[in-house]
A and B are shown apart, each in its own frame.
Chain A
Amino acid sequence: MSQEGSMRRVTAIKNGTVIDHVPAGKALSVLKMLGVDGNMSNPVSLVMNVPSQKMGGKDIIKVEDRELTQHELDRLALVAPDASVAIIRAYTVAEKMEINLTEEVVNVARCTFSNCITTNPMEPLPHRLIVTKREPLELRCRYCGKFQEIDKLVDNLL
């Protein structure tokens, strides 16, 4: 199926945010990272595992009536660093945004090491993961120094 065809699996939205080129199977993690769940009233559509020339397979997410902020998008760098994001207004792309992987990922996820000091939820300092390598992504906890298992990090989102 063509790329255009895969986009048509869900209808065009009037206003909101479209996140394309999410790695196949990661859409649910992305929604979790953005705090999109059943408690919000905005309509959300997603397609998973659609063919993509660029990626082989990909997921696409459309969140209606909500423009995601740069800060919210930067959280996605952990699971979808190459996703493309468009802000839609009146059915047209009003703005294209990029996801930036900062040198330190602050208060996005808790360290995956079970004996790290930050596992105590009462400790108030921010959770800080330092980016030691970008491709493939490698993160190290600022406090305990342990390298993070990226798949497990998604379960530790804050």
Chain B
Amino acid sequence: MVKIEASTALVLDDTGTLSVTELVEQSGLTEEELQALVDCGALEPRDAAGRSWKFSARCVVTARTARRLRDDFALDDTHALAVVLRFMQRIEALERELRRRG
């Protein structure tokens, strides 16, 4: 049997950095939606004052969750989306904590 070549997985944490274009491509959100999520604090660019934003790779997870929630619940209000996203993140953190405690 042919051995399949292994591909290296990139961890979506604070070590990697990506541009707005890359974040748009990887999240499926539009640049306007990203902008709105930054405006309401759901996404934080590395250097908010800089001319072109850079995001940590962790933001891919947040932005993709936002995209999924937007699509799954047919949300069309970005502020509401940011609130739902925040709740989602809290639930995930609590579920992790529960699992950790066994």
Question: A and B from one assembly?
Answer: no
